[in-house]
Amino acid sequence: MADIANLRTSAETGLSTLFETARKGFGSETAISREEAFRFFEAAGLPSRRVEAFKYTDLRAAMQEAAPPAETPALDLATSAVASATAFSAIEAVRLTFVNGHLIRELSDLDRVPAGVSVSPLNEALSRGDARLKNLAPVAQARENPIYQLNTAFLADGALISVEAGAKVETPLHLRFVGAGAEGFSTATRVLVEVADGAEFTLLETHEGPNGLTYQPNDALDVHVGKHAAFRHARINREGDKAIALSTISVRLDDESRLETVNLVTGAVLSRHQIYMHVAGENVNAVVNGAAMLGDGQLADSTLLADHAAVGGVGREMFKTVIDGDATGVFQGKIIVRQIAQKTDGKMKSDCLLLSDEGQMMNKPELEIFADDVACGHGATCGAPDQDLLFYLMARGLPKPIAESLLVQAFVGEAVESVTHEGARAALIGEIEAWLASRG
């Protein structure tokens, strides 16, 4: 039988043209290989449902056209866009503001970065060939991912954040990403966070944009958590209703380190949030949570790879999806326990609450275990709100919509309960309440 090659789509041809144009502007960076990343991407093209990892999120079908990389916006446009960005805004934090994927110095707190932390804009680091660039892409598997490859190829801006050894940083750093404008665009940002041994650091991340604007953000966060260090991360995706939002977190965890990350999705027509976690050191403790609350036409995909390559790691992964209208939720979670990683304790769970008859949830949990002394498990549930619980609440006087909201809130709330930063936890609960209120 003859080989049948996929015809290149308009978006794929567009991406090649855009890359050819963009590469003329790239400096002589040696630390990252945009060329290599793009060639790998180009060879396979946009992943379709024929590719197992994208079976439920067909990017080839969803991304009709490749949007051009966004220019740095004028300051007045950026200022007005940021004025309407409210996610995590009530929290006392040091803010780095990105509008259309470009760091806006005037709207950032680069001059009041807390003690023990240093922040360098990525485009400056790229032009001067910062030594830390070699620490980008800390997890090997991520480099094989087409979304991450596109991010590397088109990388436009971001930040390098270093936290000194032993620094216990109380004030969180807030990466505020805002989309603005009238024409469609794409972005490619990369933020590297290096938390040195014994340090503690909290990162907040929000993504917001206007409804009706067709834009394609691609944001990557690379994290290296040193020995006995702690990295806490809370993220909100409140992108506009036409956005195709792609994101990747790659985390390397050293001995005795702690990771806490949660991603709450209410925005974007299509979103895919990828988490690559590499347990490189012994006795790490990782809490990886996600929650998605989706309405008509939305698809949200959470894809997780937890690779345990050291002894005694504890992993708790909890994903909650609430589906209304004809929305689709996707959870793909894979735990690998390498032969050396004895005493690994991993629990992965994906629960879905279906509020309508038209919604659907795709769950794909996988375990690959090569060690013999481990405790690993996964579970997936899917169902409508419990009618007995509903009756119990109504019998106490709560009208049905309020009773149902309370149950939904309790269901999703479990995924944000473990957030250490009190203000972030309260704000995430506020997001959940706002979604429920908007549902009416």
Partner 1 sequence: MLEIKNLVVQIEDNRILNGLNLTVNDGEVAAIMGPNGSGKSTLSYVIAGKEDYEVLDGEILLDGQNVLEMGADERAAAGVFLAFQYPLEIPGVGTMTFLKACLNAQRRARGEAEIATPDFIRQVNAAAEKLEINKDMLRRALNVGFSGGEKKRMEILQMALLQPKFCVLDETDSGLDIDALRIVSEGVNALRAQGRSFLVITHYQRLLDYIVPDTVHVMSKGLIVKTGGKELAKELEASGYAEYRTNEAA
Residue 386 φ then ψ, to 5° = -65, 115
Task: Tell me the C-alpha distance between 20 and 43, whole Å.
Answer: 15
C-beta closer to partner 1: residue 369 or 393:
393
C-beta closer to partner 1: residue 73 or 385:
385
C-beta closer to partner 1: residue 269 or 406:
406
C-beta closer to partner 1: residue 83 or 402:
402
Residue 252 φ then ψ, to 5° = -110, 130
Strands (E) across 214-313 are located at 215-225, 230-238, 244-253, 258-265, 270-279, 285-294, 299-308
Shortest reach from residue 229's CB to partner 1, in Å: 31
Question: Which DSSP category does 41 fall into?
Answer: H
Q: Under a CB-based contact definition with an 8 Å cutoff, are residues 349 and 379 in contact?
A: yes
C-beta closer to partner 1: residue 24 or 396:
396
Shortest reach from residue 389's CB to partner 1, in Å: 6
Shortest reach from residue 232's CB to partner 1, in Å: 21
Task: Tell me the C-alpha distance between 101 and 242, whole Å.
Answer: 17
Shortest reach from residue 433's CB to partner 1, in Å: 12
C-beta closer to partner 1: residue 28 or 387:
387
Shortest reach from residue 312's CB to partner 1, in Å: 29
Amino acid identity, position 56: Y
CA 429 to chain centre: 18
C-beta closer to partner 1: residue 82 or 415:
415
Question: Which DSSP category does 70 fall into?
Answer: P
CA angle 271, 230, 412 (to 5 degrees): 40
Which residues does 278 contact at the CB level (< 8 Å), separation at least 6?
138, 139, 140, 141, 250, 251, 252, 253, 307, 309
C-beta closer to partner 1: residue 252 or 320:
320
Shortest reach from residue 243's CB to partner 1, in Å: 30
Q: Under a CB-based contact definition with an 8 Å cutoff, are residues 89 and 178 in contact?
A: no
CA 427, 241, 290, 65 torsion: positive or negative? negative
Residues in contact with partner 1 by CB under 8 A are 387-389, 391-400, 402-403, 406-407, 409-411, 413-414, 417
Shortest reach from residue 412's CB to partner 1, in Å: 8
Q: Under a CB-based contact definition with an 8 Å cutoff, are residues 363 and 382 in contact?
A: yes
Shortest reach from residue 323's CB to partner 1, in Å: 18
